[in-house]
Chains A and B, each alone.
Chain A
Amino acid sequence: MSKKLVIDPVTRIEGHGKVTIHLDDNNQVVDAKLHVVEFRGFEKFIQGHPYWEAPMLLQRICGICFVSHHLCGAKALDDMVGVGYSQNTPMLPTAEKMRRLGHYMQQLQSHVTAYFYLIVPEMLFGMDAPPEQRNVLGLVEADPDLVKRVVALRKWGQEGIKAVLGKRMHGISSIPGGVNQNLTIEARDRLLNGEEGLISLDDAIEFAQDGLNLFYNFHEKNRKMVDTFADVPALNMCLVGDDDNVDYYHGKMRIVDKNKEIINELDYHDYLDHFSEATEEWSFMKFPFLKALGREAGAVRVGPLARVNVTKSYSDSTPLAKAALERFHDYTNGKANDKTLHTNWARAIEILHSAEQIKVLLNDPDLQKEQLVLSYDQSMWSGEGIGVVEAPRGTLLHHYRANQEGNITFANLVVATTQNNTVMNRSVRSVAEDYIGGNAEITEGMMNAIEVSIRAYDPCLSCATHAAGQMPLVVSVLDSKGKLVNEFIR
């Protein structure tokens, strides 16, 4: 009797998704899909609003990567008013560095959330551990000192966001052509040196190294599982600078293959010329792909694993992260790494990389300078803008058009989770085949393995479909006639 397994909703991700797995009469996997089953439509309701509201409103899609949405929108607005990258206008140094600082602060605290709160418990306790143990509150009971450090690290990142954007969440600092404030000496010194209740920058770097060492230890003990779990192919994409290294704020979109050969490199303003999006009736999330290669061969992976695959190296000013990256690159002999659980390795490297980049910026006197905004006038109005940044989860694009009155007439958001849709589905299929296929009895741990494959991408289904999520889990096992034969609820 064939069966259909349903995980609905998938837990410990942002947003609401479900997984269905179809088994044949021999319990072999026939099909496996990640469905995204929510829809809100920020792109629609922003229409008619004044253009300058877009970076403020659209960042509210997400409570985790809001700075990325804010900056992406701000870059699009720079284009619209005529002083953006589409006009080849360089930003004022203070403005660009303030934007970058806010972005790295967010990347640090976002990655810390995903890595330590959502992923490390499973690394320490195992995918088969009881659900009440394999979460951060289980970690609180097992290793309170580690959690104390993690809380301190995330708090430091949040205080950095607050210093740059004015608020811990959904702050506003970027305006068309620049930013509305620089970084005060007091704020800088507080982040550098810490104070009672706030760690210092050096502490943050030390704690970030702790996170990387956690992965090394986990990898050492579970090498076979970590290296074979959802080892699935995809091209890798991220923004790169002129030095061929990842640039989280601005650069060319580079796509590389397994051998790290450049398949395509483009100005992101030309994104629509190169990418198309497929749709499926079973999901609200689209499937982007490179037109030239078609839907299967042209699917890209974005995010931490893609970035460490694409980047040639890191700057000498981030020596600890650079050394960690070299170790990562050596592990696959310089080839692109397709191992889904190595995304967590890459994420841990990027936590350290962010902390070191923040150190460079906090010591840069440009952050205290007074020239913050490029001047522009009505004659420079282009009415259209595209912004792209490397959000924590990967390449994020905002594209707006506005009429002569300045009201938004069109908005398109392509978020990282959408870019990863195909490779996430490949991961689900791979794990379903390896962990569930051939088993007459499906355990909770097996079903959790499916979720682990999804969580590695830290998907934000709320961003991808622009909705708020719910998190309880129901796993239903249905036979070929749709009759419920088993169910897991947690």
Chain B
Amino acid sequence: MNSSVDEMARLLADYNNSDSLIYGIGNVGRQDDGLGWAFIDWLESESICPKAELMRHYQLHLEDADMISYKKQVLFVDASKVPELETFQLENIKPKMDFSFTSHAISVESILATCQTCFDYMPKVQFLTIKGYEWNLQLGLTTKAKQNLKSATDYFEQYINSGVTNE
């Protein structure tokens, strides 16, 4: 976890409105690549942020720059392969044209930069990444990925249960 996660976790409450989007990225047919969708599943099952728009997609598209231009804030959630990441990370995203585009992949930073350049608007964007381990053609998260997902949801839940969070 990065150092500012405590502060940002409290902000999950801010997403409980129709101007917010929580966007799970991944493929549930490829094991831990389903972590982004699993986080959305958790929000739905616990009725957290019911007023926010919740979305699941396999990958980001350039059109997502248009979509987020209609939102005040966006939380992207994806699985991570980063070796240094232990469980999960929540970070604020700044626009950056990193020329990562293929028709199968584009970075969150580039989506934000495209939104800023083409639509002259920049929503607040945060990116939650949860560590995954296996990516083969198979349904279901690995045990370790499930533990990381639980670490992330527990972290948000403690604020929800303490009444600091959403309506």
Query: Which residues of chain A have a CB within 8 Å of any CB of chain B?
Result: 11-12, 14, 40, 60, 63-64, 113-114, 117-118, 131-132, 135-138, 140-141, 144-145, 147-148, 151-152, 154-155, 158, 168-169, 197, 468-469, 471
Contacts and interface: CB of A to CB of B under 8 A. Distances in A.
13 contacts: A117-B101, A131-B99, A137-B114, A140-B117, A141-B97, A147-B117, A148-B118, A151-B65, A151-B66, A151-B118, A155-B63, A468-B104, A471-B104
Contacts of A158: 63
A458 to B, nearest CB: 9
A136 B100 CA distance: 10
Contact of A147 (B70, B99, B118): B118
B16 interface: no
B62 A117 contact: yes
Chain B contact surface mostly: loop
Give the interface size bracket for B toward A: 20 to 34
Interface of B: 29, 57-59, 61-63, 65-66, 70, 97-106, 110, 113-114, 117-119, 137
Contact of B103 (A117, A140, A144): A117
Nearest to B27: A468
A242 B125 CA distance: 54
Contact of B99 (A135, A148, A152): A135
Most B Cβ at <10 Å: residue of A63, A113, A151: A151
A64 B103 CA distance: 8
Given A137-B114, A147-B114, A169-B57, A12 B99 contact: no
A58 to B, nearest CB: 14
A135 B103 contact: no
B104 A14 contact: yes
A137 B63 contact: no
B64 to A, nearest CB: 9
B97 A14 contact: no
B132 to A, nearest CB: 16
B63 A197 contact: no
B58 A137 contact: no
B5 to A, nearest CB: 29
Nearest to A460: B103
A138 B66 contact: no
Contacts of A168: 57
Nearest to B69: A197
A197 B118 contact: no
Given A135-B99, A147-B114, A151-B118, A471 B105 contact: yes
Contacts of B29: 60
Nearest to B106: A137
Nearest to A469: B104
A137 B103 contact: no
Contacts of A141: 97, 117
Given A12-B103, A471-B105, 11 more contacts: A14-B103, A14-B104, A131-B99, A136-B101, A137-B97, A137-B114, A138-B99, A140-B97, A140-B113, A145-B118, A148-B118
A148 to B, nearest CB: 5
A11 B102 contact: yes
Contacts of B137: 40
A63 B101 contact: no
A103 to B, nearest CB: 19
A63 B104 contact: yes
Nearest to A472: B102
Nearest to A159: B63
Contacts of B104: 14, 63, 468-469, 471
Contacts of A117: 62, 101, 103
A169 B118 CA distance: 25
Contacts of B100: 137
A138 to B, nearest CB: 7
Contacts of B118: 140, 144-145, 147-148, 151
Given A64-B103, A151-B118, A471-B104, A136 B62 contact: yes
A144 B66 CA distance: 12
A137 B113 CA distance: 9
B99 to A, nearest CB: 4
Contacts of A114: 103
Contact of A155 (B66, B99, B103, B110): B66
Most A Cβ at <10 Å: residue of B66, B97, B101, B110: B101
B51 to A, nearest CB: 19
A426 B104 CA distance: 27
Contact of B63 (A14, A64, A154): A154
Nearest to B105: A471
